[in-house]
Amino acid sequence: MAGYAEHDKIAEMAGIPSVISEEINRFMNDMNPPEDFEAHNTENKIFVCGHLNVSIRTLMGSEKLNERGKKEWVIKEDLKWLLAARKEYIRCYYLHLAVDNICENKERIKGGRETIEKCIDSWGKNRAVVVPGTEPYLRDVLGFLRNNAGNIRQIIF
């Protein structure tokens, strides 16, 4: 995963206000998230089965919420909530996930087995989670990443 500094620099390049970047970083890593984001984790009930509705935090159990980017069902719930409550955060949320994906593939990119552009395309096609209404935000983030791959490479590496 990328550190806060990398996420913040790349978000700044994308024209995302620092307050949004900082709040998404805290939310994604469950490090003192803003109050309404924390309420989403604990109060927003998710239908599981039968009559059971539980919170994201309960479903994550003892796992750290900072692994939320690896859980498709959590990403879907986050995106639905952001779409309803904080649309201006969706681009940064997708950007955070994409930058983490690039960092997870750092060794493959360094070793020449994969290019950063291919990593971006692969994430966009195979791993990016979409809920209805978030497609334009994802396209925007993927376009930004492709157009700035060289600069992002310098920041991450």
46 pLDDT above the threshold of 90: no
Spatial neighbors of 136 by CB under 8 A, at least 6 apart, are: none
Number of domains in the chain: 1
d(CA 76, CA 70) in angstroms, rounded, equals 11
Report the pLDDT averaged over residues 141-146.
Answer: 98
Token pair recorded at residue 39: 């309420």
Residue range(s) defining the domain that contains residue 139: 4-156
Chain segment 26-39, per-residue pLDDT in tens: 998 888 889 999 88
pLDDT in tens, 68-118: 767 888 899 999 999 999 999 999 999 999 999 999 999 999 989 999 999
Torsion angle of alpha carbons 5, 6, 12, 13, nearest 10°? 150
3-state secondary structure 131-150: CCCCHHHHHHHHHHHHHCHH
Q: Which residue has the higher pLDDT, 125 or 46?
A: 125
Return the amino acid letter for 148: N
Amino acid at 42: T
Task: Give the per-residue pLDDT at 99.
Answer: 96
- Check if the beta carbon of residue 68 is closer than 8 Å to that of residue 1: no
Which tokens in the block code for residue 20? 């949004």
Q: pTM for the full model?
A: 0.89
Between 63 and 40, whose confidence is greater?
40
